[in-house]
Structure 1
């Protein structure tokens, strides 16, 4: 992240997503991975704030960014002080890796250790580098400050935090992108992955690694977020682990009716119910647990009335 990016089109999508988790009661922590401004035109895509089209996705966020984005000295501290990410903890120390290769390794280690303490109260940590993930995991590399390191994601996750990090597709082809976005799923196989991609401007993806105990809650937050118009600007991507939201948890049963048809009912990882009929094995029905119970109650009520 650079201060010059504050309030641009990509920033809007990022904050809208984080606000969905904050609104659901999740304690969010933000590590800006803040680097120095570079004088480029990056971050100047703020014209969307002069129109009303994007405001429908989050009016309060839109109005607040409108007061910040055009300031000549805008910074992440404007976001922190604005209230749009309420009850959030931040780590905003500049990631400055000037010096020798040895200096860069030492500075990076010291910088990251401070972030662990600053974000210790967060349940979900958002990592906001300029470019994404550095596959080599080598902090001594040139421009390493523009990336998160796999070991840093792993450290947060192993300390009990859920993690979401920004990732830029760039010019990667389909195969390279599939491998790149799935790298951390292979490194932390116990994590439940989700990838959401924001399609306004250049493609920006947000890659989640979620602890199993929190997965149902997080899926509900994401599904609700996507259901309210946000699917116009966000999409969910396939991962190397497939659709983990649809994984069967092992809790299920089958019932054979007098007509010989067997109905199998299974609970999915996202807490929805999957129903499969033996006469139409390829026609799978997915319903929420609440809808499933409503159906059972209605059937029971009708049967009771008939009797």
Structure 2
């Protein structure tokens, strides 16, 4: 709803880069997390909001309807949002990222949706696990193209969170 509202308010397409990761590429522990199966946002409390979005999202309750490419092809949101939904290949991340920049070239506003937010400085995560993060240099590249960037950062206020704040200030 936020991205549609942003598009309407600024009369422009908004880019949405899902940092799509195939959990099989990371390993068994990632598969067990069952990410993407949390759908409590699809409650009856939403009835006062945009009915088009609610109806489209309610269809996603059924596993057979959870094919992202089909959703993007059918959704009314494509009038407001330019989606980039290619899976990240950790071996070719740079190419994946460059393709996303190309796809969102005409968008003044770009929303990034990684699973884990901004990669902490000096991270010791494997390249496979890093797929679930935005790299600081990626943010910088987007800023350098005069884009307004919005991204998710679901994290408790801990040492890593303080690191994130430092990185954001540097950018």
Q: TM-score range by the shorter chain?
A: 0.7 to 0.9
In structure 2, list runs of 5 or more residues that go unmatched: 24-30
1:45 is aligned to 38
Q: TM-score, normalised by structure 2?
A: 0.80
CA–CA distance in 1 between the matches of 2:152 and 2:146? 19
In structure 1, list runs of 5 or more residues that go unmatched: 1-15, 98-103, 189-307
For 1:132-281, list aligned pairs within 5 A. 132-136=117-121, 141-169=127-155, 171-173=156-158, 176-177=160-161, 179-188=162-171
More strand by share: 1
1:118 is aligned to 103
CA–CA distance in 2 between the matches of 1:88 and 1:112? 18
CA–CA distance in 1 between the matches of 2:17 and 2:98? 12
Q: Which secondary structure does the structure 1 equivalent of 2:153 belong to?
A: strand
Deviation of 1:47 (Å): 4.9
**Higher RCO (CA 8 Å, separation ≥ 6 residues):** 2
Distance 1:144 1:121, change over 3 A: same
Distance 1:58 1:158, change over 3 A: same
Distance 1:32 1:47, change over 3 A: closer
Q: Which secondary structure does the structure 1 equivalent of 2:151 belong to?
A: strand
2:83 is aligned to 90
For 1:64-83, list aligned pairs within 5 A. 64-72=56-64, 74-81=66-73, 82-83=75-76
Q: Which has the larger radius of gyration?
A: 1
Distance 1:183 1:165, change over 3 A: farther
Instruction: Write the deviation string for residues 135-169 of structure 1: whole angstroms up to 9, x where unpaired.
Output: 23779634010000011011011111111111111
Q: Which secondary structure does the structure 1 equivalent of 2:66 belong to?
A: coil
Deviation of 1:57 (Å): 3.1
Distance 1:92 1:23, change over 3 A: same
Runs of 4+ in 1 over 6 A off after TM superposition: 137-140
Q: TM-score, normalised by structure 1?
A: 0.47
The 8 Å contact of residues 121 and 167 in structure 2, kept in 1 or not, is answered as no
2:55 is aligned to 63
More helix by share: 2
Aligned residues: 161
Q: Which secondary structure does the structure 1 equivalent of 2:98 belong to?
A: helix
CA–CA distance in 1 between the matches of 2:40 and 2:127? 35
Distance 1:64 1:112, change over 3 A: same
